[in-house]
Structure 1
Amino acid sequence: MPAVDIPGSKSITARALFLAAAADGVSTLVRPLRSDDTEGFAEGLVRLGYRVGRTPGAWQVDGRPQGPAVAEADVYCRDGATTARFLPTLAAAGSGTYRFDASPQMRGRPLGPLTRALRDLGVDLRHEEAEGHHPLTVRAAGVKGGEVVLDAGESSQYLTALLLLGPLTRDGLRIRVTDLVSAPYVEITLAMMRSFGVDVVRDGEVFEVPAGGYRATTYEVEPDASTASYFFAAAAVTPGREVTVPGLGSGALQGDLRFVDVLRRMGAEVEVVADRTTVRGTGVLRGLTVNMRDISDTMPTLAAIAPFASGPVLIEDVANTRVKECDRLEACAENLRRLGVDVTTGPDRIEIHPGEPLPDVRIKSYGDHRVVMSFAVTALRAPGLSYDDPDCVRKTFPSFHETFSALRTAS
């Protein structure tokens, strides 16, 4: 029963870095994810004047409730969506002029609903090129707070950024949400804010965030549930294979752990206890129809194993996957077609029919870590599969290929 050591959650590490930077005192983050995205976030904080001490097992952050320690900064957000969306929001609570830019890939991803909401709150924010995209400049003078309306139908990160900002405003925030995708990520945010001393009151689509700031703490980062999905899927498609992920159990914050419920519906054996989750392949993998709106980061994982099911797999309500690192819905469809699999797509859906993948196919990664990691699972039953950019996994899991290879060779 191989136990797989999954790196810390990217989503939790990014939120913890924001919270620690905003808190009053020194916070310690235990077992944070070390990857291109999170290192980029930490480096962005350093550019803004925060002290971030990094050791192999823990990071320490000196919080500054008053905002960045420098009056001017130029921050490069790399490929990180959380970095590109959270750091300008954090900077807005301070006082100074802060310019943010990102990679060409991240420049193409939207943040208009968030920057419109920040402007509605009085933030002086200017997009330098395309409206609603990086690069942008924030001329910060603190945020008074008040009421704001937000459309989070493209990304829950817009709402998370405003929730995290709320305690740093003078009067608190009242956020009314008109649409919301990936709702479990918002629950992660609310739970983590509680750990740093802030309780948000939710009444339906309205979130009341009090002023008053955050309290420094020691925070342990749980393993990344989205990353764990590839190892759980590997077990599900291999009769008799069993995979256990310690530290990710019934108390986990991340909604993406619900991916194992999809595998259970398909025929895998699943055990979730307090401190671990185990999946075992039974030799049965049924087709199904599943709404993945709330766990859409695991859509590529399911798409990658769908050809091995006994019937069609229809994944619905995943329009937001089209505005991730790439158009993930089309990326999955294109690669499955390369593998000789029958696929149809719609604006928010993909249907995949059973079929043994062709050997010796080169997967087009689109520079997206989740595309490569998902099709690594397909490769368990598709000999000779390769990738045009295998190293893009450094975004969240630099040692993925070595770890996954060890799983393949484990008895």
Structure 2
Amino acid sequence: MSGMVEVWRTPSRHAPVDAVVTLPGSKSITARALVLAAIADGPSRLVRPLRARDTDLMAAGLRALGVQVDADGDDWLVTPAELRGPAEVDAGLAGTVLRFLPPVAALATGPVRLDGDPRLRERPNAGLIAGLRDLGVEVEDGGRGRAPFTVHGTGAVRGGAVTVDASESSQVVSGLLLAAARFDAGIDLTVDGSLPSLPHVAMTVRTLAEHGVAVTATDRGWQVAPGPVRALDRVIEPDLSNAAPFLAAALVTGGRVTVRDWPGDTTQPGAQLDRLLTAMGARVQRTDGGLQVTGGPRIAPLQADLGDVGELTPVLAALCALADGPSRLTGIGHLRGHETDRLQALDEVLSAVGARVEQLPGGLVITPGPRRPARLDSYADHRMVHAAALLGLAVDGVEVTDPAAVTKTLPDFRERWAGLLGEPAGVGR
């Protein structure tokens, strides 16, 4: 019947898992590679990019601007073209589209309107809009500093010195840096205040350098020199943030999980899982097959500043609810502006299964309690589905509504989760 909300009863597991997991490409790297390929000096091939809602929306947004993005088996072939409007861009709930495409749209001729899901209109974007205006771009947003808004491109951006407030998202910095080589004067970007998720900016800087863009760190931010963006065929790394629930399952069940093809050198924040899971009692080692995590007799509580790795918070917070003492997670106030207010959502979800949660201005204190079954909301947030699945391993009777939120970055998450457990894929009802 139309209008019915899907509910997934997450599988519980009281025996150790022993599995090897292969994951699709990184969302963050795929998004950056698409943008740079679109403004490069020739065609590029992206090998094994992530194909999920966020990246499909990015590709569709670039196509709306005139860029050719063609599927070739599992790859994408990207052929730049003259950027043009008028165009309509659907960002869905993707922060990458919300913040990476407007600077590209400013290089187009004609108006480009960006909108998306209802929650997207709540995601902060004033820092990017103000930065574009200071660079000479006309942006019409009705004074909201949020979607929907229209970028009135003239085919060129003046560029030069600009100061931005990126305290609510590092994507403001990355979005401006990605397009800056095509600005007339490049960019001399100063960051005003705090900058969360710094590894994501490091990822942007490295990706730019790989495309031949001259980018330099300063004591205030970054400078990008004007010039061509070199076309580049790129193999996309596995998404290490999506590895989090699978590796964490080893701790919950006292088992062993290996994620294949773990890169030896990467800027992905998920690379810090080895350190964080070790702190929670896991044995972590590199093997010929990938990164292997083995759970021990206990899950240790975690005291950590997660400011650089905020996207790992939902899974780590779920582990904290299953630990043997109270945990304190800080540096994550910016998560209130993600797909949902993740601190509020985690408070509600963890409390529902029996934990005691205290919200701090920029964090959470999580104290485990007697576990109980619960029906949990996904909040249309893929990471909250991951957290619910992990809780369900240890708590019988956990259900999650709207599990299809995982299509954002890992459409077949439930099938992969069932495979991890050696079970048939569960279905909603």
State TM-score, norm by structure 2.
Answer: 0.91
Counterpart among 380, 385, 390 of residue 372 in structure 1: 385
The answer to whether the 8 A contact 2:250-2:294 is kept is yes
> What's the CA shift string for 1:208-262, capped at 9, x where partnerless?
10100201010111111111011111112221x1111122233122022202211
Could you say which structure has the greater relative contact order, defined with CA pairs below 8 angstroms and 6 or more residues apart? 2
Residue 205 (structure 1) shift: 2.8
Counterpart among 263, 266, 269 of residue 252 in structure 1: 266
CA distance in 2 between counterparts of 1:245 and 1:13 reads 19
- Alignment RMSD: 1.5
Q: Please give the secondary structure, in 1, of the residue aligned with 2:419.
A: helix
CA distance in 2 between counterparts of 1:155 and 1:344 reads 24
Residue 398 in structure 1 maps to residue 411 in structure 2: yes
The answer to whether the 8 A contact 2:381-2:406 is kept is yes
Residue 309 (structure 1) shift: 1.2
**Structure 2 letter corresponding to 1:209:** V
CA distance in 2 between counterparts of 1:166 and 1:380 reads 46
Residue 180 (structure 1) shift: 0.8
The list of structure 1 runs, each at least 4 consecutive aligned residues, that deviate by more than 4 angstroms after superposition, is none
**Structure 2 letter corresponding to 1:399:** D
Change (3 A) 1:292 1:194: same
Counterpart among 182, 185, 208 of residue 193 in structure 1: 208
**Structure 1 letter corresponding to 2:278:** R
Task: Provide the residue aligned with 1:238 in structure 2.
Answer: 253
1:57-206 paired onto structure 2 within 5 Å: 57-64=74-81, 67-68=82-83, 70-128=84-142, 131-141=144-154, 142-178=156-192, 179-206=194-221
Task: Provide the residue aligned with 2:303 in structure 1.
Answer: 289
**Structure 2 letter corresponding to 1:215:** R
Counterpart among 50, 68, 92 of residue 51 in structure 1: 68
Q: Please give the secondary structure, in 2, of the residue aligned with 1:46.
A: helix
CA distance in 2 between counterparts of 1:77 and 1:356 reads 41
**Structure 2 letter corresponding to 1:210:** A
**Structure 2 letter corresponding to 1:26:** P
State TM-score, norm by structure 1.
Answer: 0.95
The answer to whether the 8 A contact 2:36-2:179 is kept is no
CA distance in 2 between counterparts of 1:232 and 1:55 reads 31
**Structure 2 letter corresponding to 1:126:** E
Q: How many residues align?
A: 404
Residue 16 in structure 1 maps to residue 33 in structure 2: yes
Specify every segment of 5 or more residues in structure 2 that has no aligned partner in the other structure, as ranges.
Answer: 1-17, 424-429
Task: Provide the residue aligned with 2:275 in structure 1.
Answer: 261
Q: Please give the secondary structure, in 1, of the residue aligned with 2:21.
A: coil
Identical-pair percentage: 38
Task: Provide the residue aligned with 2:366 in structure 1.
Answer: 352
Residue 290 (structure 1) shift: 0.6
Task: Provide the residue aligned with 1:40 in structure 2.
Answer: 57
Residue 288 (structure 1) shift: 2.6
CA distance in 2 between counterparts of 1:275 and 1:200 reads 35
Residue 2 (structure 1) shift: 2.1
The answer to whether the 8 A contact 1:63-1:216 is kept is no
**Structure 1 letter corresponding to 2:101:** L
Q: Please give the secondary structure, in 1, of the residue aligned with 2:20.
A: coil
**Structure 1 letter corresponding to 2:87:** A
CA distance in 2 between counterparts of 1:199 and 1:183 reads 19
Specify every segment of 5 or more residues in structure 1 that has no aligned partner in the other structure, as ranges.
Answer: none
CA distance in 2 between counterparts of 1:288 and 1:80 reads 29
CA distance in 2 between counterparts of 1:265 and 1:305 reads 12
Residue 7 in structure 1 maps to residue 24 in structure 2: yes
Larger helix proportion, structure 1 or 2? 1
> What's the CA shift string for 1:135-163, capped at 9, x where partnerless?
11111121111100011111000000111
Q: Please give the secondary structure, in 2, of the residue aligned with 1:52.
A: strand
Q: Please give the secondary structure, in 2, of the residue aligned with 1:376.
A: helix
Change (3 A) 1:81 1:304: same
